Amino acid sequence: MYDANSILFLYTETPLHAGSGSGLGAVDLPIQRERVTGYPIVQASGLKGALRSAAGEGKDADVIFGPQGHEHAGAVSFGDARLLLFPVRSLVGVFAWTTSRDVLARFLRDARAMNLNPPSLPDAQDDVALVPADGCDLVPQGESQLVLEEFTFTTQKSAQVSDWAKWLRDHALPQGNEYGYWREKLSRSLVILPQDAFRDFTQHATEVVTRVRLKSETKTVEGGALWTEEHLPTDTLLYAPVLASAPRQEQEKLPRGWKDKKAGDVLAKAKEFAPARVQMGGDETVGRGMVRLRWADGGENNG
């Protein structure tokens, strides 16, 4: 039984390619997506694998993640990393952090299950974009039109958007002085879009990179070695539920220091093993997939 829980926030510092294999459309190597919504995700196996690799080998890591020999299960369970904020190019203010009521409703459901208390869901507004009530850097002063990519939205100021921007700034974005600018930007650049518009941006406004393979002798493109890859853009924010149980091994077989440990102890140890930054997805040798991690504590699982 999982008796402790948390949410792990993942902030992409470089474009992230969590691939789904060869595609049948215009992009040769698309990213992973939910089947029904089409929202980008990072599957739990990829997230767990990246953290397991960062933790290295050892008996402590075996207790947390499970040993390679499958003698027993790991004591920590990771969910899929789901989309929370998606950056979209803006005519004013460089880019907006966009989301939708649909995405926030799912996050709210997950967060409440983890004993977190985000703000309430914003009021439904199907035909306008909601922006912070205390100022928005994306809309020229005196105007009410927001331009994202080539699309124009009528905006409406909302105190609920300001509440969400403050909560995400304080609980989800990475801490540290180097992130001070971005936390402040979120307070003035969060936009809650109509859900269909948001879905379309997540499907058509990702980063697509064209790559080639060169012949080592001539430094010209090798025949048939031209392909395109899809990436989640830099500054995307995702989240993943994390559950922990007591160690799964028999007490007499546990490494030193693990006997009589409970789920909360396991979760605390997992956080120690998780680095501040981790590389996820493909293209590691060309700098892709650098992700900043932040844990948001829940509490004891009430079932």
Question: Are residue 73 and residue 90 in the same domain, yes or no?
Answer: no
Three-state DSSP class for residue 117: coil
In a domain, 27, yes or no: no
167 is written with which tokens?
């909560």
Q: State residue 24's pLDDT score.
A: 61
My answer on whether 114 and 168 are in the same domain is yes
**Per-residue confidence (pLDDT) for residue 220, from 0 to 100:** 65
List, in sequence order, every residue forming a beta bridge with 131; answer none if it has no partner: 157
Q: Residues near 6 by Cβ (< 8 Å), separated by ≥ 6?
A: 114, 242, 244, 267, 271, 295, 296, 297, 298
Are residues 98 and 52 part of one domain?
no
Sign of CA dihedral 171, 283, 286, 40: negative
| Position 34 in a domain | no
Confidence at residue 301, expressed as pLDDT on a 0 to 100 scale:
41
pLDDT at position 58 is 83
Is residue 177 assigned to a domain?
yes
Supply the DSSP symbol for 30.
Answer: P
Which residue among 162, 186, 205 closes a domain?
Answer: 205
What's the confidence (pLDDT) of residue 20?
A: 79
In a domain, 221, yes or no: no
- Specify whether 151 is located in the same domain as 176: yes
Asked if the structure places residue 25 within a domain, the reply is no
Per-residue pLDDT tens listing for the chain (303 residues):
788 999 999 999 999 999 877 766 678 899 999 999 999 999 999 999 999 988 888 888 889 998 877 778 889 999 999 999 999 999 999 999 999 999 999 999 999 999 899 999 998 777 899 999 999 999 988 889 999 999 999 999 999 999 999 999 999 999 989 999 999 999 999 999 999 999 999 999 999 998 887 777 776 667 667 889 999 999 999 999 999 999 988 787 888 888 888 999 999 999 988 999 999 998 888 899 999 999 986 444 433
Backbone angles phi, psi at 201, to 5 degrees: -65, -40
Domain containing residue 165:
86-205
> How confident is the model at residue 289, as a pLDDT?
94
pLDDT at 151: 96
Domain count, the chain: 2
Q: Does 96 share its domain with 70? A: no
Output the CA–CA distances (angstroms, integers) from residue 160 to 111, 187, 273, 295, 300, in the order listed.
17, 12, 36, 24, 28
Residues 191 and 115 reside in one and the same domain? yes
pTM greater than 0.95 (yes/no) = no
Residue 283 resides in a domain: yes
pLDDT at 302: 36
Question: Do both 278 and 239 map to the same domain?
Answer: yes
